[in-house]
Structure 1
Amino acid sequence: MDFFLNFLLFFAGAIAVILNIMLFFKIWGMTDNVKLLEARVAVIQQCNLEKQKMPDGENRFIKAQAQWIRGNKDAAKQILDDMFYENLADIFDLENSFEDEYNSLIARYSRIYQKMGLPEPDYAAFNRQ
């Protein structure tokens, strides 16, 4: 009986030690995920500032953010591209302020694409000159 009790206590202690070691490495691994989450939150905060400058595309911009957070970068890029093309079409007929609006539009979208790590459209192909 004494041998069985000692064996049971030793076995339970060994399992507790192994589980504690596993927990230690699990928590250590989660600290790397925190850095990734902080980076994504920073991008989202920057994009929220950009969203305030785009009142007509708010809902689609939120959808692009959601796709990016989910890791679906192709869908996020497609949504942003569509928004860029529509905003470009809106300013295309402006005679006097086209260049200013065009440069502002490129600057705004360029920051968003860069923050999300997405390839930017070929802006030069859309210049009216």
Structure 2
Amino acid sequence: MENILLVTSIIIIVFGILQIVLFFKVWGMTNDVRKIKNNTINSFDEAHKQIIIGNKDKAFEIYKYSYVKELIKLSELPGDFKYNYPRLVEKYKYELSKLGEGYSIDFSEYDAVNKIRKVTE
């Protein structure tokens, strides 16, 4: 009887410790998601600041870099690529329209997952 009580109490203590560890791991992952989200938002904010200052070339470089990062991230999920790629293109067309004429990205160059994978693998 005492052995069963001892084993049960040890199991409960171990599960309690594991739950605490899991809580902090999940908490850390939420901070990582915020950092990833802020990177994209901060890129657009930085590009908008460059447009206001008058550095359209610098803003264009920021947009291109952000587009490539999102494109590579999107290509890692081939099932979602066909659905999400048109949204990505529309988002960047809108952002590039803020720069005016002469600034464009050739979106047709990497409009399929296999085209991106040839470069990234």
Pairwise same-fold verdict (TM > 0.5): yes
The Cα shift of 1:68 comes to 0.6
1:123 maps onto 2:107 in alignment? yes
Q: Percent identity?
A: 26
The equivalent of 2:86 in structure 1 is 103
The equivalent of 1:63 in structure 2 is 46
> For 1:59 and 1:112, how far apart are their aligned partners in 2?
14
The Cα shift of 1:127 comes to 1.1
Which amino acid counterpart does residue 121 of structure 1 have in structure 2? I
Alignment root-mean-square deviation, CA = 1.7
Larger Rg: 1 or 2? 1
The equivalent of 2:16 in structure 1 is none
The Cα shift of 1:55 comes to 4.7
5+ residue gaps, structure 1, are 1-53
The Cα shift of 1:66 comes to 0.8
5+ residue gaps, structure 2, are 1-36, 115-121
The equivalent of 2:61 in structure 1 is 78
2:105 is paired with a residue of what secondary structure?
Answer: coil
1:25-36 pair list within 5 angstroms: none
> For 1:102 and 1:86, how far apart are their aligned partners in 2?
13
Which amino acid counterpart does residue 59 of structure 1 have in structure 2? N
